[in-house]
Chain A
Amino acid sequence: SQQGEEDPQALSIQEGENATMNCSYKTSINNLQWYRQNSGRGLVHLILIRSNEREKHSGRLRVTLDTSKKSSSLLITASRAADTASYFCATMMDSNYQLIWGAGTKLIIKP
């Protein structure tokens, strides 16, 4: 079953703007991960944030985690056409190494 739910389901913005995607989950977690999937390709890991972390950066990516609200956000700054893809959040619990996936946000960057 899916634990993560991304919001919005789809997002279309102009190149250069910032894109923000949100993820909510239901149970306690060990970590939360964000992945990108380009059309017709496998998923690619972007960033992992542990349950005791609140914010993490990687290049143009910024992830926040609020465990009290069971939510996370992914911010992509200065978007580029190449950022067009689907973005998925996935949570891992302490009990095992499985990831529970959300339904994804489809991001379109208009040139």
Chain B
Amino acid sequence: DAGVIQSPRHEVTEMGQEVTLRCKLISGHNSLFWYRQTMMRGLELLIYFNNNVPIDDSGMPEDRFSAKMPNASFSTLKIQPSEPRDSAVYFCASSLAGQGPYEQYFGPGTRLTVT
């Protein structure tokens, strides 16, 4: 298996533009987590899906952020409109919840820079 795949790896955009980050889960996994990592705030959970259903989105900063799972293996995180403070590394991770042992497998991340 290729592991969790994220695209793009780097994204530079101007303030106000829409940004879409993509994630492909490991085959057979049923849980998907979107994280954001910055020096100031560390690793923050944005949203968590289980079996394509959003379980906890309390970490989504505001209405400018939205995440979807159109199918069991793919997810998108959209920021519209983007702002400079959104600059961070965004990770998605997948796991096989319900059967243990619950470790999460991370993708390589998308480094987002909003100017």
Chain A interface residues toward B at CB < 8 A: 2, 30-31, 33, 41-45, 48, 88, 92, 96-99, 101, 103-104
Contact = CB atoms under 8 A, between A and B. Distances in A.
Contacts of A44: 106
B106 A104 contact: no
Which of the listed residues B45, B50, B103 has the most CB atoms from chain A within 10 Å of its own CB?
A: B103
Given A31-B101, A43-B91, A98-B56, 18 more contacts: A33-B102, A41-B109, A42-B93, A42-B106, A42-B108, A43-B93, A43-B104, A45-B104, A45-B105, A48-B102, A92-B102, A96-B48, A97-B50, A97-B95, A97-B102, A98-B45, A101-B45, A103-B42
Given A98-B45, A104-B42, A33 B103 contact: yes
Contacts of B55: 96
B42 A101 contact: yes
Given A48-B101, A97-B31, A97-B102, A42 B42 contact: no
Given A42-B109, A43-B91, A97-B95, A48 B103 contact: yes
Interface of B: 4, 31, 33, 42-43, 45, 48, 50, 55-56, 91, 93, 95, 97-98, 101-109
A30 B104 CA distance: 15
A92 B56 CA distance: 14
A76 to B, nearest CB: 18
A7 B39 CA distance: 17
Contacts of B105: 45
Contacts of A30: 102
A98 B42 contact: no
27 contacts: A2-B42, A41-B108, A41-B109, A42-B4, A42-B91, A42-B93, A42-B106, A42-B108, A43-B43, A43-B91, A43-B104, A48-B101, A48-B103, A92-B102, A96-B56, A97-B50, A97-B95, A97-B97, A97-B98, A97-B102, A98-B45, A98-B48, A98-B56, A99-B33, A101-B43, A101-B45, A104-B42
